[in-house]
Every structure is written in structure tokens, then in C-alpha cells.
Chains A and B, each alone.
Chain A
């Protein structure tokens, strides 16, 4: 174990640079948020992931964000165990009818201000499962959605980009909001 640890210290890190936030999406989000919300959220976000009927593909890529290559926490983003600790709900899946109530309850349990991110084609639109007797469809049919990250599943780097967009929007001051206009 010692040699493994020592080598890990000497070697250059495996972590890759973070992607830039999506400027267009940042502006849109900033416009949605009031100053008070931005002050509360600041430069760090706690995320609660909710699988609302995903095939688990999206979860696998969310997991990847925690590996040393993407190292999510260096951006001030972290996953939390309870919606009561969360600023962001990251929702996947075509909201199965059997998960609808659980999603609503999770949303209700998340304190304001909060954001909802719909991750993956299923969450964005119902994806290939749209129209099924067992699915409610897009997450926005059930709870209000602030940001969508399409893909099936989106690559971790794309998820990261989406989440950084949120952080950027959250930390911009009112002046910046004016300047961006």
C-alpha cells in the first residue's frame, strides 16, 4: 500500500481541467434567480440526486463525477444524503408513475431556494419511454425544472459543464447581471 500511496503523490494528478460554463445558459439562469437566492447559494452547491425511473445509465455517469479524474468536489459541488441539505435536485429518468410521489415529496423536503436539474434525455423529455402507461414523462411535468442536461447518458464532462453553469449563475452579483444584459 505504501508504494501505491507514494507513487500517487509523486505522479502528476489524473484529474482533468474543468470545462467552461455554458455562457448562454448562465445568463438565462441568472435572469431567473433573484439576488437573495444568489447570496444564499454562493459558490458552493449541495446536490441531492433523485433517480425517478432511470435505466441507471445516467447514475453511472454521475458516479463518475466523483472519481479522481473529474473530482467534482474541487468545484464546491458535492452530493448530499438528504434533500433537506440540498440546494439542487439532480433528477434522472422518465418519472415513472410509481416514483412520482417520491419525487414530489423529495422536492417538498428541499428547502428554498432550490434548483432542479433534469439530467438525461429521459428526464428532459421522457426520452424513449415517453408515452408509456407507466411514465409521467419529463421531470418538468411534475416539478419545475431550471436546467436541462440532455444526453443518453450525458458524458461526465457534459454533466460537469451543466453544474458549473449553475454555480456560475449562483455567484454572479447583481452588477454582473446588469452588465451581462
Chain B
């Protein structure tokens, strides 16, 4: 495969090929805590890894060749890579050399062929029942939950082992909503790929379209117009606001405090209605495209958003005061579902999961993209790692988003909203990282000579959050699981892809 020469990401240097020995050394370094794993995925006959050295303003992209269907496992030296390698094995059939866990992850034995992204026609292998990890001890019992849950949430399976009330172990089994999005992406036109990427995870449709647009623009070396740059950020902050408000209410609801939930529901509804008014879609789907936007913000729209912020802020603060002033509610959230700072360092989870456990990272600040480099906002950091801390990160971020929205409206440039996208007539690739409400969304693309998508990998922040949920519920009572789960609010669809 010919290597593109140019800088292919707005947030780092071009990809480098390294040999197996260097790959193993890099994996071991990750295991020792040198740097953070940001992504790990396969392409034809190779595996790519994206790492970030702590405190570094750049991302590093490394590639190792797959030889004889194998490559050296990262996961056996750095645990956060395990599920990613199991997914690579299911999708491409590449075997991570040395990985102890041989169980499939996304492949539940229901597809017609194995390794669907490998291009070959391997027959599906009949699978045995999924082997959950054994748990031994006196008086233990198991509680299987899902994939269809009692509430209106996405499907996944949770296997609890409990000793009386206390959870001894939680093991997740995911992959139920695997839609084969990467498979549909291969060969797709830019338009079709944009539509698909906006449907990876419904609550983050803006974040995904945003990261995808950045990746394409990096690959094709296109500058979107200034107005589009600002309105994209506006949409991203509105998306963050809506989701955080929803989560604030839902977390309190799972602690049986319905009043805040009801009021947050009203506030969230007002945000979505304003988005609908301004951009024609409540979730602002299909608004961001490579090159710019499909819809401009009208004068009336800007007025509506200003009014929304003004109206919403005092009512929101009243709810925060209510949260702070209700000891029975705090009793449920404080010290519940703790993520140890050490685990947060190892897994490098994005968003509120990381920032509630001391991981001081926000893409908007640390790998900044326009217009955030010109805006002022604080990144909240807490250290307790509990449900309360994750809630407080959201509360602070709602305040920050309210301020950012006004800053963006104040500095909104006048220009067109779409740049022309022309194919480069050569193979290109691009990568971008964007801060979604849940954490950093990464999109990597390789474009074919004719400008269609050869390979696209969208990496959801949930990949590095789900495993920490397993750790966080340990020793909590089973009845607190919904509360812990909601405070994480990981994406199933974004993860299962």
C-alpha cells in the first residue's frame, strides 16, 4: 500500500510503520504506563495503533504488518487493548499473538460468514455457548441480565456474581447491536459514509459527523469556511448540553429522586426544540458534512438560542442547588461506583468517566481544534471517581457549554458554510479526534483514488469506559447497578458498531 506523504491529521504526525519488535516494545511501554492507548484497529494486512504520550499535544500513529494472519498482541501487555483485539479477530480474522482470551467478542455466531471485513469468504464457525469467566467461592450466586433490559435502554448482557447483596464480579457481554457499519463504509461514497457515521451512536450524531468531517478534511487538505467551523462547535455544545441534562435527570431518577428528573426532562426538551427550530432536526443529524454544513444558522435561530441559554441557566442552577441540598440523594451517589485513579490512568477513559477520576484530558483543550483554541472554558477535574463526581463533571460542563454557546454566538463570522470537496485523485488518509459529550470520538479514514471510502474506523469513547464499569460496581450492592451504569452512560451502539 502506497503511503500518503502529507500530514494526515490535524492532531498529529503521519502514520509510521514499525516492525514487530518495536510494536512489542511500544505495547510493553503502554503497559508500564508510558502513554495512553487511543485506538487499535485493523486494515488490510496491517494493524494500526494510535497512542498519546501523556501531556503531549500530538497523537502518534503506528502500524505493524500482519504476517501469516498474525500480529503481536498489545492486549497481553496492556489490558485496555484486549476487547479491541478480540473485535479485530472477529472482523478481520487476524490473530493477536499471545492474547490469552480466545473468546469472540462481536461475533455471536449469527453472521453468515466469519471475519466479514477480511474480504474473503470464510464460512462461519459454529460457536459454543459463551464462556463467562469462572467465579468460585462459598455462597455465590449468579444473576444474568439482558440483552433485553427492563428499561428503555440499549441491549447488552450483564452477568453478575453476587454474595448476598454485594456484587463480587460483573462481566459484560456486548456486540448485540453490531450493525456492520465498517463493512457498509467500505466502498461507500462520501455522502453515504456521512449518513452512516451520523448513525453510529444516536446521542452523539453531531460528534461523529464532526470527527468524520475533520478526518476527511485532513485527508483532502480542505479548510472549511470560518462560519461553518463556529456553527459546528455550537452544535457540539448544544448536543453536550442536551445529553448532560438528560443524564443529570436520569442519574437522580435512578437514585429515586424523580423531581430533578422531571425538571431536567423539561430543560432537555427545550434544548432539542431549539435545535429543531434552528437546524431542522432535534438531534442536529446530517447537518455537519465534510467541507462544512448543510444548514446555516438564521438570525432568528441565533436569537432563539440566546433566549434558551438565558432562560435555562437559572432554572438549571436551582436544580443543582436542590441536588446539593438533598442529603438522602447524595447518600446514594457519594462513594458509589468508584473508579480508582490508577485504573483511569491505565484505561485512559474519555469524558466524565476519566475527568471524575483525575484524568485531566479534554480534546478541545489538549488537542485543540478551531474554534476552541480561541474560546475560554474550564475543564472540570474531580478525583473521587464515584457517581457523584461523574455527575459534578457534567454539571460543570453544562455551565461551560452555556458559556461557550454565548461566546460562539458573539464571535460568529459571516461567510459561506460549505467548501467544495474535490477528490484528490490519489489514495489519502486522515484522522481526527473530537470531544463528544461522552468523551473523545476518533475517526480514521482511508480514501481510495476515486474519492470513495476504502476503510473507515469510528472509535467510540465507550471502548475504554465499559471495562471500568465492571470494576466500579464491584462491592456495590446489586440494586445500585442501574445508578452506576447510568452515571457511565456508555454507548452500546457506538461500541458494537
Q: Please give me the residue from chain B that is nearest to A132 by CB atom.
A: B180
A133 with B111: in contact, given A67-B269, A69-B265 (CB under 8 Å)? yes
**B325 adjacent to A54 (CB under 8 Å):** no
Report which of B111, B176, B184 forms a contact with A99, defined as CB distance below 8 A: B176
**B180 adjacent to A133 (CB under 8 Å):** yes
Given the complex of chains A and B, what is the CA–CA distance between A133 and B179 in angstroms? 8
**B259 adjacent to A4 (CB under 8 Å):** yes
Given the complex of chains A and B, what is the CA–CA distance between A128 and B111 in angstroms? 19
Task: Say how far A30's CB is from chain B's closest CB, in angstroms.
Answer: 28
- Total count of chain A residues near the partner, CB < 8 A: 49
Given the complex of chains A and B, what is the CA–CA distance between A83 and B445 in angstroms? 42
Q: Which residues of B contact A153 (CB under 8 A)?
A: 202, 283
**A51 adjacent to B175 (CB under 8 Å):** no
Q: Which residues of A contact B177 (CB under 8 A)?
A: 51, 53-54, 93, 96, 98-99
Report which of A1, A53, A82, A135 forms a contact with B176, defined as CB distance below 8 A: A53
A59 with B179: in contact, given A54-B202, A134-B116 (CB under 8 Å)? no
Given the complex of chains A and B, what is the CA–CA distance between A79 and B150 in angstroms? 10
Write out, one digit per residue, whether chain B residues 235-278 have a CB within 8 A of any chain A CB (1) or not (0): 00000000000100000000000010011011011001000100
Task: Say how far A77's CB is from chain B's closest CB, in angstroms.
Answer: 13
Task: Say how far B69's CB is from chain A's closest CB, in angstroms.
Answer: 20
- Total count of chain B residues near the partner, CB < 8 A: 52
Report which of B111, B175, B184 forms a contact with A129, defined as CB distance below 8 A: B184
Q: Which residues of B contact A96 (CB under 8 A)?
A: 176-179, 496
Which positions 186-214 of chain B face chain A at CB distance < 8 Å?
195-196, 199-203, 205
A54 with B108: in contact, given A59-B202, A67-B262, A69-B266 (CB under 8 Å)? no
Task: Say how far B265's CB is from chain A's closest CB, in angstroms.
Answer: 3
Q: Which residues of B contact A56 (CB under 8 A)?
A: 154, 201-203, 491-493
Task: Say how far A34's CB is from chain B's closest CB, in angstroms.
Answer: 29
Given the complex of chains A and B, what is the CA–CA distance between A106 and B196 in angstroms? 28
Contact of B326 with A by CB under 8 A: yes
Contact of A64 with B by CB under 8 A: yes
Q: Please give me the residue from chain A that is nearest to B267 by CB atom.
A: A67
Q: Which residues of B contact A129 (CB under 8 A)?
A: 179-181, 184, 199
Contact of A142 with B by CB under 8 A: no
Interface centre among A14, A93, A99 (most CB of B within 10 A): A99
Q: Which residues of B contact A50 (CB under 8 A)?
A: 148
Task: Say how far A11's CB is from chain B's closest CB, in angstroms.
Answer: 11
Report which of A57, A98, A102 forms a contact with B285, defined as CB distance below 8 A: A57
Q: Which residues of B contact A99 (CB under 8 A)?
A: 147, 155, 176-177
Report which of A59, A101, A127, A155 forms a contact with B154, defined as CB distance below 8 A: A59
Q: Which residues of B contact A106 (CB under 8 A)?
A: 148
Contact of A40 with B by CB under 8 A: no
Contact of A58 with B by CB under 8 A: yes
Contact of A162 with B by CB under 8 A: no
Given the complex of chains A and B, what is the CA–CA distance between A61 and B281 in angstroms? 12
**A57 adjacent to B205 (CB under 8 Å):** yes
Q: Which residues of B contact A98 (CB under 8 A)?
A: 108, 110, 175-178, 496
Given the complex of chains A and B, what is the CA–CA distance between A127 and B199 in angstroms? 10
Given the complex of chains A and B, what is the CA–CA distance between A55 and B491 in angstroms? 9
**A59 adjacent to B259 (CB under 8 Å):** no
Which positions 124-178 of chain A face chain B at CB distance < 8 Å?
127-129, 131-135, 152-153, 155
Q: Which residues of A contact B112 (CB under 8 A)?
A: 133
Report which of B110, B202, B266, B493 forms a contact with A67, defined as CB distance below 8 A: B266
Interface centre among A5, A93, A152 (most CB of B within 10 A): A152
**B266 adjacent to A60 (CB under 8 Å):** no
Q: Which residues of A contact B178 (CB under 8 A)?
A: 53, 96, 98, 134
**B155 adjacent to A51 (CB under 8 Å):** yes
Contact of B479 with A by CB under 8 A: no
Report which of B113, B150, B285, B325 forms a contact with A152, defined as CB distance below 8 A: B285
Contact of B151 with A by CB under 8 A: yes
Given the complex of chains A and B, what is the CA–CA distance between A50 and B491 in angstroms? 16
**A54 adjacent to B493 (CB under 8 Å):** yes
Given the complex of chains A and B, what is the CA–CA distance between A124 and B211 in angstroms? 29
Task: Say how far B108's CB is from chain A's closest CB, in angstroms.
Answer: 4
Q: Please give me the residue from chain A that is nearest to B151 by CB atom.
A: A81
**A55 adjacent to B201 (CB under 8 Å):** yes
Given the complex of chains A and B, what is the CA–CA distance between A173 and B151 in angstroms? 33
Q: Which residues of A contact B110 (CB under 8 A)?
A: 97-98, 100-101
Q: Which residues of B contact A83 (CB under 8 A)?
A: 148
Q: Which residues of A contact B272 (CB under 8 A)?
A: 64
Which positions 87-140 of chain A face chain B at CB distance < 8 Å?
93-94, 96-102, 106, 127-129, 131-135
**A4 adjacent to B283 (CB under 8 Å):** no
**A102 adjacent to B155 (CB under 8 Å):** yes
Seed contacts A56-B202, A153-B202; 10 additional CB < 8 Å A-B pairs: A1-B325, A5-B259, A53-B176, A63-B152, A68-B262, A98-B110, A99-B176, A129-B180, A134-B183, A152-B285
Which 6 A-B pairs give the minimum distances between C-beta atoms? A57-B202, A67-B265, A134-B180, A81-B150, A132-B180, A97-B110
6 examples of A-B residue contacts, CB within 8 angstroms: A1-B259, A63-B246, A67-B262, A97-B111, A99-B155, A106-B148
Q: Name A's B-contacting residues (CB within 8 A).
A: 1, 4-5, 14, 49-64, 66-69, 79, 81-83, 93-94, 96-102, 106, 127-129, 131-135, 152-153, 155
